[in-house]
Amino acid sequence: MKFMTATVSAIALTVSTGAAIADTITILAADLPPMVYADGSGREAEIVTRVMEHCGHEVNYVVQPFTRHWATYEGGTGDAVMTVPMGMPMDGAQSAPYIAYQNGVSYLASSGNNFGALDDLSGLSIAAFEGASGILPGLSDAQGSFGSYREMADQETQSKLLFGGRVDGILGDGMLFAAYAASLRDAGSSAGVDASQPLEFRAIFEPSNYAMNFRDPDMSVAFDRCFTELEADGTIAAINTKWIDKYRDSLADNYLSM
């Protein structure tokens, strides 16, 4: 199997015995722009890279489609895996949460809708990411009230469905949808839809926290310590704000209440 990889340099920490040489940690990551890009950049990747740097490690990302990266890790590849739901059964030791995704509904501003809860989607045509009904609280019970409902892995197709007026709303993380919409906007007329239409996002679900799983329990403990230190000095908040601000036009103040 051919993997997309991205190696991110880290700065070795200096200890009392001299300059330590950083070892390289291979991490399985999901291809979820703008959280993780194939080159090892993105909101989530930057957080993990900075934490691992702070712990004195370099990172080698193996980037694969979402959920496949879990299976690859479970198959024995890599030292760690990211974007793991809290409490999900997985090999190794799980860290404390290091990132939150904000799921909600994205829709065209021209629709005049102002969704405040899942019940407000009754009778509408809705699309969501693959597996959403098993992840988003209450969705499995509510989907029967929708006019139509479909799940798909291709988020670019989701964007086209919304811009083309074939669905009324998209359920998922607001940043992820905004990034795909921006990509279509940059493509201009070649996108096949009018992606210039303004979008709105409403956070109708509680934030979803994600953790790392490490094969080495000591590495999980060290990750938590290094994350806590960077959270305390404002590094983590600065990374989150920087990336969320890129999509502020459609997210407004509805993403993680920032």
Instruction: Give the pLDDT of residue 162.
Output: 96
pLDDT, tens only, 46-67 = 999 999 999 999 999 999 999 9
Instruction: Give the pLDDT of residue 16.
Output: 33
Instruction: Give the pLDDT of residue 54.
Output: 98
Instruction: Give the pLDDT of residue 257.
Output: 66
Amino acid letter for position 136: L
Instruction: Give the pLDDT of residue 22.
Output: 61
Instruction: Give the pLDDT of residue 13.
Output: 34
Per-residue pLDDT of the chain (258 residues; tens, 9 = 90+): 434 444 443 333 333 333 344 699 999 999 999 999 999 999 999 999 999 999 999 999 999 999 999 999 999 999 999 999 999 999 999 999 999 999 999 999 999 998 999 999 999 999 998 889 988 999 999 999 999 999 998 888 999 999 999 999 999 999 999 999 998 988 888 888 899 999 999 999 999 999 999 999 999 999 999 999 999 999 999 999 999 999 998 898 999 964
Instruction: Give the pLDDT of residue 135.
Output: 85
